Amino acid sequence: MTSTLALEGVTKRFPTGTVAVREVSLALEPGDFVTVVGPSGCGKSTLLRLASGLESVTGGSIDVRAAATSYVFQDATLLEWRSALRNVELVGELRRIPKDERRRRAQEALDLVGLTGFETQHPRQLSGGMRMRVSLARALVADPDLALFDEPFGALDEITRLQMQTELQKLFQLKRFAGLFITHSVSEAVYLSTRVLVMSGRPGRIVAEIAVPFPYPRPPELRYEPEFAELTGQVSHALGEHS
């Protein structure tokens, strides 16, 4: 078994009695970017928290083979008193990487997300999209084997959101981590991923799996192609049948 992340029959029942996730199995290999769509409250965030170890399973098992895992939330969760560069550098500080080296890596990560020139700005001096870029840089600076995303672009305006999708799939092509990405947006799911998993209403089960064959990098115009519409149609159909 060499999967970066493997879930086998995972169930989560909270002490309140709510069963958030039922019998979910999935495996992520390096180079997989799996998106999960499902109705609100079906257990998507719970699934991600289980995968990250923030929450423990009540049934089944989870196996993680990743030296480094990163987690990106809907809000950028940056430290307000630190500059953009120092927010990204924090990861290296926690890992006790020497100052010159961690600063070089943080600068490189900021360059990658298009924030060259904004190193010394503090989060409140940046736009929502820029804060999310810092958050992405921070997530990818440690070269994670596994990257977990919980609706990271949900709070962004449509234009910024499309830009961020384009950036993220470029970063994915470059870094080739295994990605698990939660979203409410069907087109975001198809555009980003190698595979879309559709969850049912609570308790969330995986009810459909749709492979996305388009090679990376994916041009923004891919969204207007009939093959793209065909896949978003399949995902929407599966969602409609099971919510």
Ligand X SMILES: Nc1ncnc2c1ncn2[C@@H]1O[C@H](COP(=O)(O)OP(=O)(O)OP(=O)(O)O)[C@@H](O)[C@H]1O
Which of the choices Mg ion, ligand X, none does residue 218 contact, using the CB cut-off of 5 to 8 A by kind? none
Look up residue 236 and give its amino acid.
Answer: S
Q: Which is nearer to ligand X, 13 or 175 (CB)?
A: 13
Stretch that binds ligand X, among 38-46, 59-67, 170-178, 228-236 (CB under 6 A): 38-46
CB of 74 to ligand X, least distance (A): 8
Stretch that binds ligand X, among 14-22, 122-130, 188-196, 215-223 (CB under 6 A): 14-22
Q: Which is nearer to ligand X, 121 or 243 (CB)?
A: 243
**Residue of 3, 11, 45, 234 interacting with Mg ion (CB under 5 A):** 45
b/e sequence 12-50, b meaning 16+ C-beta within 10 Å: beeeeeebbbbebebbbeeebbbbbbbbeebbbbbbbbb
CB of 20 to Mg ion, least distance (A): 10
**Residue of 22, 102, 202, 218 interacting with ligand X (CB under 6 A):** 202
Q: Which is nearer to Mg ion, 119 or 188 (CB)?
A: 188
**Residue of 22, 44, 131, 242 interacting with ligand X (CB under 6 A):** 44
- What is the total count of residues that contact Mg ion (CB under 5 A)? 1
CB of 12 to ligand X, least distance (A): 8
Helix extents (H) in the chain: 44-52, 84-94, 99-112, 128-140, 158-175, 186-192, 226-242
CA 66: distance to chain centroid? 15
Please name which of 220, 234, 134, 132 lies closest in space to residue 186, comparing C-alpha atoms: 234
Q: Counting beta carbons within 10 angstroms of the beta carbon of residue 215, is it exposed (0 to 12), middle (13 to 18) or buried (19 or more)?
A: exposed
Residue pair 178/24 in contact by the 8 Å Cβ criterion = no
Q: How far is CA 28 from CA 69, 215, 239, in A?
A: 13, 18, 22
| 74 sits near Mg ion (criterion: CB under 5 A) | no
Stretch that binds ligand X, among 42-50, 92-100, 137-145, 157-165 (CB under 6 A): 42-50
Q: How far apart are CA 141 and CA 182, in angstroms?
A: 21
Q: Which is nearer to ligand X, 43 or 129 (CB)?
A: 43
**Residue of 41, 53, 219, 220 interacting with ligand X (CB under 6 A):** 41
Q: Which residues bind Mg ion (CB under 5 A)?
A: 45
